[in-house]
Amino acid sequence: MLGLMAELLKNIYNKEFIKDLSSRFAKVYPKFNSKKFSQLVFSKGWEQKELKERMRHISMALKEVLPNGFPKAVKIIIDVTRGIEIEGFEYMFFPDYIEVFGKNHWKASIDAIEKITPVASGEYAVRTFILLNHEKMLKTMKKWAKSKNFHVRRLASEGCRPRLPWSIGLPVFQKEPTGALSILEILKKDPELYVRRSVANNLNDISKDNPDILINLLKKWNTDKSAEMQWLVKHSLRTLEKQGHKKALRLLGYSTNVKIVNPTFKIKPKRISLGEKLELSLLIKTNSVKSKNIVIDYVVYHKKANGALTPKVFKWSKQKISSKQELSLSKTHHIKAITTRKYYSGKHEIHVQINGKVIAKECFTLKIDKVIKTRPV
């Protein structure tokens, strides 16, 4: 998904976009050399650059046409963003410029990140400053968490995610998430779903390194039975749910001692070509008299170049089951080329898991004429 989005977004940076960007700069900085800027951007090798490479390349080009001295240059960037009405991912080279050239200008950089984040979120740029001095940055982010601007409040959460996609990790919060949690505590009941979704994503990141800390925190938060808090708890636990983490499952209301009797799982066809689909069918029953909540996932083990199988979990269904009934489910799974995966011919496996425990498995054989390669982000 991220790879596909990157592939589409990188083409936004065309000549028309750069011309428009140049005119915006010229309005606030008449000395801006639009011709030179365009030549620098569309230099040799531009077509081969991917999304983040293009962002960095534009940042470097801006350095050549803006005034010497970071504070003066970043003030011009701030003035340009004031003329942009809609927030968009395409302007992320602005915070990237700050990340690259503002390390020795702390106050000017942090002030600029806050001011431009409604147009281009500084969630990536701020991480460099967290690595430089996380305690100093935490004080700033706590202030951001109380901002009147919801973009800035989201920045406080998104910026301190331990494992933000497309970005550098934050070992300090992976090892000890207390600092990040102090920010999320402020934002957990934010009126904006946009902000609460970032909080849930941050907590989900924390679950990958510190599951017990997360579970203990959410047990306290779970006493709030509002729809907003229940949504937050659920989305924060999505990785642990897939892993079958017992404490997480109990917190979500799933039984951890469901015994499935003689499950029947089938895959059709057994041989498939790239672009075709599999039909999955599952028949399950239990000897439990009381009705129990279960979550059913299936895990596709894709074959890699070295012959190893790597898992990818897919959601199937959430059900209630008791000895009074059998559950029959079906699912279609497409094996199609996507930008984030390489496919190889050979035997693949699919495992069915209920509440995180594998209850059945089957194999299928994938045949392709050549390796389907993806382009890096």
CA–CA distance, 51 with 55 (Å, rounded to integer): 6
Residues 6+ apart with CB under 8 A from 220: none
Q: What is the pLDDT of residue 256?
A: 78
- What pLDDT score does 371 carry? 47
Q: Could you report the per-residue pLDDT of 69-124, keeping only the tens digit for each?
A: 999 999 999 999 998 887 778 899 999 999 999 999 999 999 999 999 999 999 99
Give the model's pLDDT for residue 8. Answer: 66
pLDDT value for 374 = 42
Q: What is the 3-state secondary structure (H, E, C) of 298-328?
A: EEEEEECCCCCEEEEEEEEEEEEECCCCCEE
Q: Which long-range contacts (CB under 8 A, 24 or more apart) does 85-92 make?
A: 86/119, 87/118, 87/119, 87/120, 87/121, 87/151, 88/119, 88/120, 89/9, 89/120, 90/9, 90/12, 90/13, 90/17, 91/119, 91/120, 92/55, 92/120, 92/121, 92/124
Q: Provide the mean pLDDT of the chain.
A: 92
Q: Global pTM?
A: 0.83
Peptide bond into 165 cis (omega under 30): no
Structural domains of the chain, ranges and CATH numbers in brackets: 2-251 (1.25.40.290), 264-367 (2.60.40.10)
Residue 325: per-residue pLDDT: 83
Q: Using the structure block, give the residue that is written with the tokens 């957990």.
A: 188
* pLDDT, block means (10 residues), the chain with 377 residues: 60 94 96 97 94 95 96 97 83 96 96 95 95 96 97 97 92 96 97 97 97 96 95 95 89 86 94 94 91 92 91 92 90 85 91 92 88 43
pLDDT digits (tens, 9 = 90+) for 9-41: 788 999 999 999 999 999 999 999 999 999 999
Residue 288, pLDDT score? 84
